[in-house]
Amino acid sequence: MGVAGESPVQGEAAGAGVARGVTDVLQPRNVLLAGMTAVGAAAAGHWTGVLWGLLGALCAGIVPAAYIEWERGRGRWGDRHVVDRTKRAPIFFVILGSIGTGSVAMLLGGAPAGILLAMLALWVMTVGLLAVNTVWKISVDSAVASSVVTLLGCVHSPWWLAAYAMTAAVCWSRVALRYHTVAQTAAGAALGAATGLAYLLT
């Protein structure tokens, strides 16, 4: 039931506005920037880990986001969401290459094992996203939000798993904006959570 005096159309518009705000604020680039910085700090145990975390965020989130914006400028895609599943493969290859390059730089630079493992877990997750995307449109935003929370839970404290409320908000926003179905966001979140398994087994 909407607010008194508010038409159903106005209520839907307000809900869409909230969903748009959530999906923009919690987009992969932003979530990775905050999450990987925290992972790096915890992995190192001192401030230098923040720098490694920022490198991880650059490779896993900012470089891919910049690539999408570049392709948008060329008129290839309408927005960052790339709603056409068949056009997403190049993005995944850019992510894999960028994470791989960053991981090599970390290895050569003597980065803490924890941040290296987090990068490997994200790389494995991206391989999974690419594989699923060949046949079905899985939610990348949900996967990233879930993976960051899981990694923080592994590196910092299980209490971080309470931040799955953020992941739920991302899933809701993607469905509300009709970019994905409930099943697609749930699958993305599940794949993201599996990064924790990849982290713990390496």
**pLDDT tens digits, 51-66:** 999 999 999 999 999 9
pLDDT category at 12 given cuts 50, 70, 90 is: low
Q: In this structure, is residue 24 part of a structural domain?
A: yes
- Residue whose C-alpha is closest to residue 155's, from 125, 107, 119: 119
Q: In this structure, is residue 6 part of a structural domain?
A: no
- CB atoms under 10 Å from CB of 100, counted, come to 15
Q: What is the DSSP letter of 111?
A: -
Q: In this structure, is residue 54 part of a structural domain?
A: yes
Q: In this structure, is residue 71 part of a structural domain?
A: yes
pLDDT at residue number 1 = 43
Q: Specify the number of domains making up the chain.
A: 1
- At residue 71, does pLDDT exceed 80? yes
pTM of the model: 0.90
Q: Both tokens of residue 112? A: 């803490």
Q: In this structure, is residue 62 part of a structural domain?
A: yes
Q: Both tokens of residue 182? A: 């409930």
Q: In this structure, is residue 155 part of a structural domain?
A: yes
Q: In this structure, is residue 55 part of a structural domain?
A: yes
User: What pLDDT, in 10s, does the model give residues 17-35?
Assistant: 999 999 999 999 999 999 9
Residues spanned by the domain of 187: 15-201
- Residue whose C-alpha is closest to residue 189's, from 178, 175, 200: 175
Q: Is 122 exposed, middle or buried (0-12, 13-18, 19+ CB in 10 A)?
A: buried
**pLDDT (mean) for 157-172:** 95
Q: In this structure, is residue 142 part of a structural domain?
A: yes
Least confident of 7-21, 79-93, 188-202: 7-21
